[in-house]
Amino acid sequence: MTEYLAVLIFIFAGVGIVLVTFLISRLLRPDHDYPEKSLNYECAEEPVGTSWVRFNNRFYIFALIFVVFDVEAVFLFPWAVAFGQLGLYALVEMVLFIAILMFGLFYAWKKGVLKWA
Amino acid sequence: MLEMVIITLLKIIAVLAVVLTGCAYSTYLERKVVAAMQHRIGPSYAGPYGLLQPLADAVKLMFKEDIIPDNVERWTYAMAPAISFIPALLTFAVVPFGMDMTIFGREIKMVLSDMNVGVLFVFAITSMGIYGIVLAGWSSGSKYSLLGSIRSSAQMISYEISYGLSIVGVLFIANTLSLSELIAQQETILDWFIFSQPVGFLLYVTCAVAETNRAPFDLPEAESELVAGYHTEYSSMRFSMFFIGEYANMLAVSAVGTVFFLGGWQGPFTEQVPILSFVWFFVKVFMFMFVYIWLRATFPRFRYDQLMNFGWKILLPLAVVNTVVTGFFVVL
């Protein structure tokens, strides 16, 4: 339990550092704001249109594939640690599990999902 | 109990001091090394050999005006730097800096938190950093920031899988998730997991570079296309939070990689002179950092499609094959 408590205190220490540096810099820095300064940076031109632009929906598909494989990694970690006691049977089962996922990856690959055109 | 609390607090102060100084001087190291590789001198005015340059930079950034554009999402904009900085720091909570020592008659572990799921903690915390980048890019209200952060998140999640899988081979052999236990198993140089897991090591290094958005994988802040990527609209201390966070992340993956593959603080003569264990650890981390900087000075940046292809079509299958092959080797 103390191990996790130490991490918790460490988190607070990290937050403390951020707050203190922000505070010090707030006391020290100048503040001369004018309207042009608080425009978004767009190569010194006035910004055109909205900032929340559309982007390629391929990113979304990558996120989907990522979720699948991240879950796989979550299963793999405890399996790898307990591996010494589990032996061959568990290995074969895990290879099957990985093979199914890899089949999914190759399906996506052949479908052209992973291609950036 | 009180003793426990005091020791923990002292450890926290020590870790923070070491990590923040390390970050500051990593910037100095990078500038000096890149300069030497490009036949320049690098920082040389502040102090002897420019050694006070990081301090000068810090003071300068403190005194800079904090410009907040009008159309930002204020709260997320303000919090994003902290969200990307704190997880970078947190990794060091589980990294053992040296061997256990007896100080004033007390046995003290040179690690803040010796938890038995340290490896999981490291990977969980490392992937937290991405939130800071996504929130920063989205809340800045700038096209460059948004595109930079979207790219960055896609890149980080792509390489995170191989990053996680690269370590599974080591876990097979070591059968533990505790970092101090991992180090204990790499007592002599021949026990280092780099020799039993060479492919895993290469995968780890490659993915670590991509995870920390460093060259040649620094697409998110490709300055020729996206100005500065997700932190385009940040200035003053908020900008420096991202900056320190990036270097803290580099140090973190270097330190963790040292523990996984290079035996952590293990080295000759540590039994006689325990202090040497710190030296070995820092030397190994320094080597990792040097390789980082070397890569930056050597390689041109990837194109985005090359980057994604490399991650999904080469690294991921390689990591999976490495895992399965190691599994069979351990069983048979």
- DSSP of A5-29: HHHHHHHHHHHHHHHHHHHHHHHHS
**Per-residue pLDDT tens over the stretch B240-279:** 888 888 899 889 999 999 988 888 788 787 777 778 888 8
CA distances from residue B73 to A44, A67, B20, B78, B151 in whole angstroms, order as listed: 22, 28, 29, 8, 20
pLDDT at B324: 85
A-chain residues near B305 (CB < 8 A) = 115-116
**What residue in B sits closest to A87 (Cα-Cα)?**
B331
Helix residue spans in B185-226 (DSSP H) = 193-196, 198-211, 223-226
Between A42 and B217, residue with greater pLDDT: B217
Per the CB < 8 Å rule, is B305 touching A116? Answer: yes
B-chain residues near A88 (CB < 8 A) = 331
Per the CB < 8 Å rule, is A62 touching B154? Answer: yes
Secondary element (H or E) of residue A36: none
pLDDT at B61: 84
Per the CB < 8 Å rule, is A38 touching B68? Answer: yes
- Candidate from A69-78, B86-95, B286-295 with smallest mean pLDDT: A69-78
At residue A48, what are phi and psi to the nearest 5 degrees? -105, 125
B-chain residues near A95 (CB < 8 A) = 324, 327
**Per-residue pLDDT tens over the stretch B170-181:** 888 888 888 888
CA distances from residue B90 to B118, B126, B284 in whole angstroms, order as listed: 12, 9, 20
- Provide the CB-side half-sphere exposure for B323 (13 A, CA): 33
In a domain, A115, yes or no: no
In a domain, A74, yes or no: yes
pLDDT at A117: 62
Between B184 and A39, residue with greater pLDDT: B184
Beta bridge partners of B102: B107
Q: Are B123 and B185 in contact (CB under 8 A)?
A: no
Distance CA B63, CA B58 (A): 9
Please tell me whether the peptide bond between B216 and the residue prior to it is cis, using omega within 30 degrees of 0.
Answer: yes
CB proximity under 8 Å: A 3-22 to B? 3-7, 9-11, 13-15, 17-18, 21-22
Q: Are B230 and B136 in contact (CB under 8 A)?
A: yes
pLDDT at A68: 82
A-chain residues near B63 (CB < 8 A) = 25, 28-30
Q: What is the mean pLDDT of chain B?
A: 84
Is B137's pLDDT higher than 80? Answer: yes
The region, left, alpha or beta by phi > 0 then psi within -120 to 50, assigned to residue A49 is left
Chain A: give the shortest CA distance to residue B312, in Å.
Answer: 8
Burial code (b: 16+ CB inside 10 Å, e: under 16) for B195-218 equals: ebbebbbbbbbbbbbbbbbbbbbb
Between B99 and B289, residue with greater pLDDT: B289
Instruction: For chain B, give the percent of residues with pLDDT over 70.
Output: 98
Nearest to B8 among A6, A94, A109 (CB): A6
Place of tokens 């997320």: B76
Distance of CA B235 to the CA centre of its chain: 23
pLDDT at B232: 78
**What residue in B sits closest to A32 (Cα-Cα)?**
B65
Please count the structural domains in chain A: 1
pLDDT at B222: 66
Nearest to B30, CA basis, from B220, B208, B250, B194: B250
In a domain, A26, yes or no: yes
Locate the domains of chain B by residue range: 64-331
In a domain, A54, yes or no: yes
pLDDT at A91: 81
**What residue in A sits closest to B63 (Cα-Cα)?**
A29
Q: Are strands B101-103 and B106-108 parallel, antiparallel or unpaired?
A: antiparallel
Nearest to A38 among B63, B70, B113 (CB): B70
Distance CA B108, CA B106 (A): 6
Q: What is the mean pLDDT of chain A?
A: 81
- Candidate from A106-115, B79-88, B163-172 with smallest mean pLDDT: A106-115
Q: Are B183 and B281 in contact (CB under 8 A)?
A: no
Q: What is the dihedral of CA B53, B56, B61, B65, to 10 degrees?
A: -140
**Given pLDDT bands bounded at 50, 70 and 90, which one contains residue B2?**
confident
| A116 close contact with B: CB closer than 8 A | yes
Q: What is the dihedral of CA B311, B313, B318, B323, to 10 degrees?
A: 80
CATH code (residue A56): 1.20.58.1610
Distance CA B61, CA B236 (A): 5
Q: Are B295 and B208 in contact (CB under 8 A)?
A: no
- DSSP of A37-83: GGSPPSTTSPPPS-SS----THHHHHHHHHHHHHHHHHHHHHHHHTH
**Per-residue pLDDT tens over the stretch B40-91:** 888 888 888 888 888 888 888 888 888 888 778 888 888 888 888 888 888 8
Domain encompassing residue A10: 2-110
> What average pLDDT does the segment B112-125 reach?
84
CB proximity under 8 Å: A 50-89 to B? 51-53, 55, 59, 62-63, 65-66, 69-70, 72-73, 76-77, 80-84, 87-88
In a domain, A117, yes or no: no
Q: What is the dihedral of CA B46, B49, B54, B57, to 10 degrees?
A: 30
Beta bridge partners of B108: B101
How buried is B289 (Cβ within 10 angstroms: 0-12 exposed, 13-18 middle, 19+ buried)?
buried
Q: Are B253 and B212 in contact (CB under 8 A)?
A: yes
